[in-house]
Structure 1
Amino acid sequence: MLERETVVDDPQQVLGLLAKRGWFCHSGEAMHHGSILREIGKVGDRLGRRVGGRAGALEEVVEPRHFDEAHPRSLSARYGLGALPFHVELSHRTRPCRYILLGCIDPGSPSTATMLLDWRMLGFSSEEQNLLEEAPVLVRSGRRSFYSTILARGGAFLRYDPGCLKAVDDRGQRALRLVEDRIAGAPSGAHHWRQGDILIIDNWRVLHGRSPSDRGSGRRLARILIDA
């Protein structure tokens, strides 16, 4: 279980902890839907500018969904209530958001954990990083699809989402396999939700996923996305 902090009001303290380990967890009082959205919004607005998520929404409530309930281009449409693989949020856009803020409205029963993995811990060599910075991949985003690389120049951020990346040549295939293999063998952290928890993730550094969920578990998380 991830360590929880007690202070969320000081943005410099939050940024310091994000720089140190890539995530920040605050355990607050149980709050209803509107209160938790206001709380994560207050924190997020101190960190940067909100960016729209699905359908451009600046505030969302996310929950595990079965295949037949999921948005057709979402990971849930492919994996359903099974474990969602590690990914970087908004990888299908030219610039992924910098921070993800999640607030627990209801942890669900049984509880479903959010999994975290720092890509810097995947042990890429200089040669492997060069491959990730140079090998082209197609980023599928409907009519806005574009070509990019998995690793931004200088290692600013990793672009990875098995639902939207496709190799276009042998180098791209090697790059995708490299990341998949390293993720499969890497130790990760798990955040087990309690009502009122706030989790902030540096999306440029930490990939996230979800453990399997039961249909109708009731797990609901408020979410906003921040650019900085």
Structure 2
Amino acid sequence: MLSPKIVASDPEQPAGPLYKRGWSLHSSEGSNPDDIVRALVELGERLGTRVPGRAGLLEEVVEPLAAEDAHPRSLSARYGLSALPFHTELSHRPRPCRYLLLGCVDPGSPAAATMLLDWRTLGFSQDELALLEEAPVFVRTGRRSFYSTILAPGGAFLRYDPGCLEAMDDRGRRAMQLIDGRVAAAPFDAHHWRQGDIIIIDNWRVLHGRSPSDHGSGRRLARILIDA
């Protein structure tokens, strides 16, 4: 069987939207889950190597969950079907994945949008960046919890997830308050899904979230994670 055609500019082109704004929109001509996953894999393999998600799977189809049905340490366990806040995917790991690829199997009814926010547009001063890079936070992830900072050394990526980060001292609290405030006040892009849509997100640069969803909406997104 021929692989599904991907309609998009090459994500590796330096002038492309992935590099200009930190995310890019593509489309798979196939509409069933297998077609969309194959399209995700084809795009992802141009960028790096797949890594497993929270459940240990390389390929997943995810849907909005009520709090009682979600993984106990996930954002869904805290927020349920309410809006999921902006976050960095895999913040609970020492090195978050570089790219997140999402493909729309079913937008659901009513549809819930994916929200996108480039943290580099939040207007941090040099002193504020230094605070984010130096203030300790605790990354709570069960037996593998660890200490880290919100901003990686040299500003490589932002580790942000209201569900797993905890301030350890006054500096950490200032850092958390700083980024919480900037994120809450910032304008963002909202993508309203259509079946077959694919989004590549530079996870080190762009935070993502989800607008509220209804129980049983049918919204399903295929997801793969890429390290590079």
TM score, norm. by length of structure 2? 0.95
What's the CA shift for 1:16?
3.5
User: Residue type matched to 1:182 in 2?
Assistant: R
User: Deviation string for 1:158-192 (max 9, x for gaps)?
Assistant: 00000000001000000000000001110011000
**What's 1:193 paired with?**
193
Q: State the SS of the aligned residue for 1:96.
A: coil
Structure number having the greater helix percentage: 1
What's the CA shift for 1:26?
1.2
User: Deviation string for 1:27-54 (max 9, x for gaps)?
Assistant: 3435101111111011101110011102
User: Deviation string for 1:89-110 (max 9, x for gaps)?
Assistant: 0001000000000000000001
What's the CA shift for 1:14?
7.6
Aligned residues: 223
Which segment drifts farther, 29-38 or 70-79?
A: 29-38
Unpaired runs of 5+ residues, structure 1, are none
**What's 1:7 paired with?**
8
Matched-pair contact (CA < 8 Å) for 2:139–2:165: yes
User: For residues 66-215 of structure 1, what are the structure 2 equivalents within 5 Å?
Assistant: 66-215=66-215
Identity over the aligned pairs, expressed in percent?
72
Q: 1:91 & 1:191 partners in 2: Cα distance? A: 22
Matched-pair contact (CA < 8 Å) for 1:86–1:207: yes
User: Residue type matched to 1:32 in 2?
Assistant: N
Q: 2:124 & 2:14 partners in 1: Cα distance? A: 28
Q: 2:158 & 2:99 partners in 1: Cα distance? A: 13
Unpaired runs of 5+ residues, structure 2, are 1-5
User: Residue type matched to 2:226 in 1?
Assistant: I
Q: 1:154 & 1:170 partners in 2: Cα distance? A: 22
TM score, norm. by length of structure 1? 0.95
Q: 2:14 & 2:113 partners in 1: Cα distance? A: 22
CA RMSD of aligned residues (A): 1.4
What's the CA shift for 1:68?
1.2
